[in-house]
Structure 1
Amino acid sequence: MHKVMMGLARGMAVAGGVVLSALIVLTCLSIAGRLLNGAFHSSLMQGIAPGLSRWMLDLGVGPINGDFELVEAGVAFAIFAFIPLCQISSGHASVDVLANMLPRGVNRFLRMVTEALFAAVLVLIAWKLFDGMMSKKSYGETSFLLQFPVWWAYGASLIGAVMAAVVGVYMAVVRIIEFLTGRIRIWDGVETDQ
């Protein structure tokens, strides 16, 4: 079961990485287009090479229309796509100054409670994201420039949120079993041997 969950988490992280990489390229192209557009509109370029300036401007050299809308939707998806891998590999930030001094049983209890709370929050986020998506869909809300339905971005993010919730519940069950049996089932480098 752990291999399946890890595979799903890694798959989501790869999808998030691909989307994030595409957004980086999109942003760079848009910035370059904005700079070139300003340069071709400048009086210097109009004086030196008016034909080239007019030709480039007629080609549509400029910022990518709606780039911020795409970045906004894509980054939301990427964030939710990375959460499952972070959850299954215990990649969240933690402050263990006090916990390292506590006995192993107390630490396992704290880990179990933390994982259960994380799972509950991830399920709540997925549920409310679904509600938000359905609301946006029923109102037919669209983005300002590109006019794509806003619920598409919610739907893409919902995929990552549901995967995060599934992985979160799985990890909570694992930590509950570990606490009850006293045996570590998934070593992730966080567990201490006190």
Structure 2
Amino acid sequence: MLHTMRNVADRLIGLSAFFGTLGLIVEVVVILIDVIGRAFGHPMFGSQDLIMMTMVILVFGGMALCDRQGGHIAVDLLERRYPRVMNRAIDILSALLGTVIFVFVAWAVFDSAKLSQMLNLSTNLLRLPKAWFQWGLCVLSLITAFGMLLRAIELTLSGRDVRHELESKQ
């Protein structure tokens, strides 16, 4: 059961990272075109809108992968002094706290997306519907929360930490 959930989570994390990568590519291309256009006196129309919206996809698209690989900031000054059981408990609690945080982010943005849709809110210049990007942020936040919850469950039931498995492979 856990193995199947891990496979599903890893595929969702990969999909999330793929969208983050697309966001990064779009971001770089838009900035490049805008900078070159500014040099010739013709900046790209709507570049601020595109940059703002794709930044959301870029950041939240990579968040689940960052957690999966253990890339979040961790203060480990006292880790060597704590017993192994306490370090494991701290890892479980931090994964659960991360799950709660990302579920609340998704929930808050979901409410905001409903409001954006109701008021037909859009970006300033290109009139891109804000709700689309907010729905995407909700999904990407929930994927991150799912990955963190699964990590907490794996740590609790089997002691397996997927972050350390990736370190040993490298």
TM-score by length of 1: 0.77
Check if 1:81 corresponds to 2:68.
no
CA contact (8 A) 2:69 2:166 kept: no
Alignment length (residue pairs)? 163
- 1:163 maps to what in 2? 143
SS of the aligned residue for 1:115 comes to helix
Check if 1:9 corresponds to 2:6.
no
Deviations 1:72-117 (A, max 9, x none): 0001111111111112222211111112211101111111111111
Runs (4+) of structure 1 exceeding 4 A deviation are none
Q: Give the whole-Å Cα distance in 1 for the aligned partners of 2:23 and 2:148.
A: 23
Task: Please tell me the root mean square deviation across aligned C-alpha atoms, in Å.
Answer: 1.9
Q: Give the whole-Å Cα distance in 1 for the aligned partners of 2:165 and 2:85.
A: 17
Check if 1:121 corresponds to 2:101.
yes
Q: Give the whole-Å Cα distance in 1 for the aligned partners of 2:163 and 2:47.
A: 42
Aligned pairs (5 A) from 1:148-159: 148-159=128-139
CA contact (8 A) 1:66 1:146 kept: yes
In structure 2, the CA distance between the partners of 1:190 and 1:12, relative to structure 1 (3 Å rule), is closer
- 1:42 maps to what in 2? none
- 1:188 maps to what in 2? 164
Identical pairs, percent: 23
Q: Which amino acid aligns with 1:67?
A: S
- 1:98 maps to what in 2? 78
SS of the aligned residue for 2:146 comes to helix
TM-score by length of 2: 0.87
Aligned pairs (5 A) from 1:30-179: 30-37=34-41, 62-178=42-158
More displaced 10-residue stretch of structure 1: 67-76 or 141-150: 141-150
- 1:20 maps to what in 2? 24
Following TM superposition, by how much is the alpha carbon of 1:190 offset from its aligned partner in structure 2, in angstroms?
9.4
Q: Gaps (5+ residues) in structure 2?
A: none
